[in-house]
Structure 1
Amino acid sequence: MQNSDIQSDVEKYEWNRWVPRKVNIFGWRMNLDRLPTRSALSKRNITLASLSCPLCGERDETVEHIFGSCYISSVIWHMVSRWLSIPPIYAFSISDLLRIHEHINWPKPMKKMVHAIILTTCWSLWKLRNDVVFSGIRVDISRLWADIKATSFLWIKNRAKMHTLDWSNWCNFNIL
């Protein structure tokens, strides 16, 4: 298999040590479309009351929808792009989303930071989805946004050993 000419997204997934291993595994599974979304479960003959997205209720829940076209994720990606001062994030595919950092003209450590923030955002969206499905939590975009900022700050500060990184600069993304 290693010598075959077939290129797949499996080979292209980029691991990031600035996020926990479980988040990298989650990102890898997301890239492979192997998350247990309602559509994926339905394809495995698991009967569900509804296939609609638990966050917005507008379309069937797929990986592409949750992280790309869902209203909630669209609002969050807009907030992320404004916070990072990068062009608006439009994810037409999961691989587009996971490669945003490659198209930013910043130093390599900053690209790695953006990649970690993208992975953290996807992780937080999935956690919110699970809270809605399993605990009946209501969608709160401001709480989700606060969680993304705090989690990414803690992971990057500690895992990248950026001990001089402080919260006020992080909140304004005054890193460059």
Structure 2
Amino acid sequence: MTSVQKGISQKILSNIVASVKSLQDSGDIPEETLQLKFKNSRNDGNCHVLDARKSLDDSHLPTSSYRTRWTKVIPLKINIFIWRLIMDRLPSRINFALKGFDINTNICLICSVGGDLRDHTFIFCRVANTIWRRIRIWTAIPWPDSFIITEDAFDWMDSSNDPLSKKTHIYSIVAATLWWLLRFRNDMLHENGTIKERDLFVNIRLSSFAWLQARSKFAPTWTTWLCNPL
């Protein structure tokens, strides 16, 4: 950091401290709200970075009754996407509107019928509904007619008594389906036109197969995957 940058940073920090002090003196901010209280995990009377981080995480990060899924079969970025999806932390128009952003419209980018929110985009939208129907035909297993909310897909997989190899294949298919629905939606948002609706099902089969080939000991052959993936 140059001396100029350092000077600017110190000036900004001084202005912030002065502003907070002014608000505190005016009584607009109770003094106790300015005090960070951390639980001491070591009981040694000192404040540790680990305790501060845990307290901040507990107070600011979203919580959910659904366990975090980190599956080695799928790429890391897909794991992160699935986590954000379950937590409903994807940047949809309705989520932006709920945060106070000025959004021109909340209508679904794909079908222009429902709202641009998680469960519509990935379950009820015309394109999503068509894709899930094709997935049920391809896998030839009794998938639920429709998932009420996105978490239902994972609840359904967790409750299955199928062997691990079959569960692994199912999970890769579900993850690939959700991922390509997101990519299609984002492609519509940015008006790129690079992802065609007619190609979604093919891309789902290609991606899920590629993940299994690269990361799973239960990887099938391409012919088997096309005819009987489970």
**Range class of TM-score, shorter chain:** 0.7 to 0.9
Asked whether the equivalents of residues 38 and 61 of structure 1 are also in contact (C-alpha less than 8 Å), the reply is yes
Alignment of 1:78-89 (within 5 A): 78-89=133-144
Using the TM superposition, give the Cα deviation of residue 41 of structure 1 relative to its aligned residue in structure 2, in angstroms.
Answer: 0.8
Q: Which runs of 5+ in 1 are unaligned?
A: 2-7
Which residue among 25, 34, 52 is the counterpart of 2:80?
25
1:129-140 alignment, distance < 5 Å = 129-137=185-193, 140=196
Higher relative contact order (CA closer than 8 Å, sequence separation 6+): 1
The two structures have a TM-score, normalised by structure 2, of: 0.67
Q: Does 1:37 align with 2:92?
A: yes
Shift, 1:136, TM fit: 3.9
Q: Which amino acid aligns with 1:149?
A: R
1:129, 1:88 → 2: CA distance? 24
Q: Contact 1:78–1:88 (CA<8 Å) still a contact in 2?
A: no
- Equivalent position of 2:168 in the other structure: 112
Q: What amino acid maps onto 2:81 in structure 1?
A: F
Provide the rounded CA distance (Å) in 2 between the counterparts of 1:162 and 1:87: 22
- CA separation in 1, counterparts of 2:209 and 2:109? 27
Tell me how far 1:162 sits from its aligned partner: 4.5
1:106-152 per-position Cα deviation (integer Å, ceiling 9, x unaligned) = 21121122012101110110011111111342873320111100011
Aligned residue in 2 for 1:14: 69
| One-letter amino acid of the counterpart of residue 184, structure 2 | L
Letter in 2 for 1:115: Y
Give the Cα–Cα distance (whole angstroms) in 1 for the partners of residues 183 and 229 of structure 2. Answer: 27
Q: CA deviation at 1:15?
A: 2.4
Alignment of 1:24-173 (within 5 A): 24-89=79-144, 90-137=146-193, 140-162=196-218, 165-173=220-228
CA contact (8 A) 1:84 1:173 kept: yes
Q: 1:35 to 1:174 in 2, by over 3 A?
A: closer
Residue identity matched to 1:82: I
Runs of 4 or more consecutive aligned structure 1 residues displaced over 4 Å after TM superposition = none
Aligned residues with identical type, % of pairs: 26
Aligned-residue Cα RMSD (Å) equals: 2.1
Q: Which has more radius of gyration?
A: 2
Distance 1:139 1:91 in 2: 25
Displacement, 1:11?
Answer: 4.5
| Structure 2 spans left out of the alignment, 5+ residues | 1-53, 55-62
TM, length-normalised to structure 1: 0.86
Q: Say if 1:29 and 1:10 are closer, same or farther in 2 by CA, change over 3 A.
A: farther
Q: More deviation in 140-149 or 103-112?
A: 103-112
1:70, CA displacement in angstroms? 1.0
Name the SS for the 2:223 alignment partner: helix
